Amino acid sequence: MTQIRHQPIAPTGTQWLTSGGAIDAHRHDDHQIVYAGRGALTITTSAGSWVAPGTRAIWVPAGTVHAHQAHGELELHLVGLPATENPLALDAPTVLAVGPLLRELIVAYTRTPDDDSPQRARLRAVLLDQLLASSQQPLHLPTPSSPLLQTLCDILRADPADGRTLVELSRQVGASDRTLSRLFHNDLGMTFPQWRTQLRLHHALILLAEKTPVTAVAHRCGWSSASAFIDVFRRTFGHTPGSHPKA
């Protein structure tokens, strides 16, 4: 059985992880903002996974058991907040947009001495103001509780480029496509195409962080062409994969 580490106070500061590096399952009594200045970060809980490249941060509520996985050379910025201070009123991990100003505030706050100086208090106050203005991003890939869906989702996780329809996949898992469609809606709150697109985008972010060429990313994630991939990526993240922050 995996032992879950308990760190009462969520650390504030900067850490570096090599590509493929990981921080095992742990929890804090404090909230934490986790931001990847370089590379991409995946946070996994029992409810699913969240991925954040350099234009996103992840809010991790107090008490949430979570593990970190680095993709590309990861520069990890951590901001701990007391459990009594929840400016976003969020009780589940959430991906947040990080604009240029918020990025510089996070980097500055995690690179300066962790003291009680008035200057640091002012920096923290502006950081929280910017955090409140940050939009939430739909980058959550939920984990199913249904054994049937777990089997199907594991098939696609192993090969995001698998282009089979739900009807075709239903034959392999031994359930009707209607049953599986209902389970996606009831268990995960999304349709099968929506979940598969999320899976492919998650995988694409990881491959881009590992400096995989855009055309190869499109192919390995199941898009019919690089242009189709670029279109979905731009609509989701607001920029093309070619201009995406690299590790």
The yes-or-no verdict on residue 103 having pLDDT over 50 is yes
The answer for residues whose C-beta is within 8 angstroms of residue 234's C-beta and 6 or more apart is: 240
C-alpha to C-alpha distances, 33 to 28, 57, 62, 114, 128, nearest whole angstrom: 12, 7, 11, 15, 11
Name the more confident of 129 and 53: 129
Average pLDDT over every residue of 195-201: 95
Please tell me the total count of domains within the chain.
Answer: 2
C-beta neighbour count of 9 within 10 angstroms? 11
Residue 40's region, left for phi above 0, alpha for psi from -120 to 50, else beta, is: beta
Q: Which of 110-119, 125-134, 185-194, 200-209 is the least confident region? A: 110-119
Q: Considering the chain, what is the average pLDDT of its residues?
A: 89
Nearest C-alpha neighbor of 60 from the set 29, 36, 23, 37: 29
Contacts of residue 242, defined as CB under 8 A and 6 or more positions apart, other chains included, come to: 214, 230
Whole-angstrom distance, CA of residue 38 vs CA of residue 223: 26
**Contact between residue 210 and residue 71 where contact means Cβ atoms under 8 Å apart:** yes
| 247 band by pLDDT with thresholds 50, 70 and 90 | very low
Residues 80 and 167 in one domain: no
What's residue 1's pLDDT? Answer: 40
Please answer whether residues 72 and 113 qualify as being in contact, where contact means their C-beta atoms are separated by less than 8 angstroms. no
Alpha helices in 72-112 (DSSP H): 100-111
Q: 10: which 2 tokens?
A: 């969520």
Closest CA to 97 of 67, 62, 56: 56
Mean pLDDT of 173-198: 94
Dist. CA 196–CA 215, nearest whole Å? 19
Residues 13 and 118 in one domain: yes
On whether both 202 and 116 belong to a single domain, the answer is no
For 240, the token pair is: 């093309």
Reported as a single tens digit per residue, the pLDDT across 49-93 is: 988 877 789 999 999 999 999 888 888 999 999 998 888 888 889
Q: What percent of the chain has pLDDT over 70?
A: 97
Which pTM does this prediction carry? 0.80
Are 10 and 115 in the same domain? yes
List the CATH number of the domain containing 87: 2.60.120.810
What b/e sequence results for 42-62 when a residue is b if at least 16 CB atoms lie within 10 Å of its CB, and e otherwise? bbbbeebbbbbbbbbbbbbbb
Last residue of a domain, one of 140, 159, 176: 140
* φ, ψ dihedrals at 38, nearest 5°: -140, 150
Domain harbouring 221, CATH code = 1.10.10.60
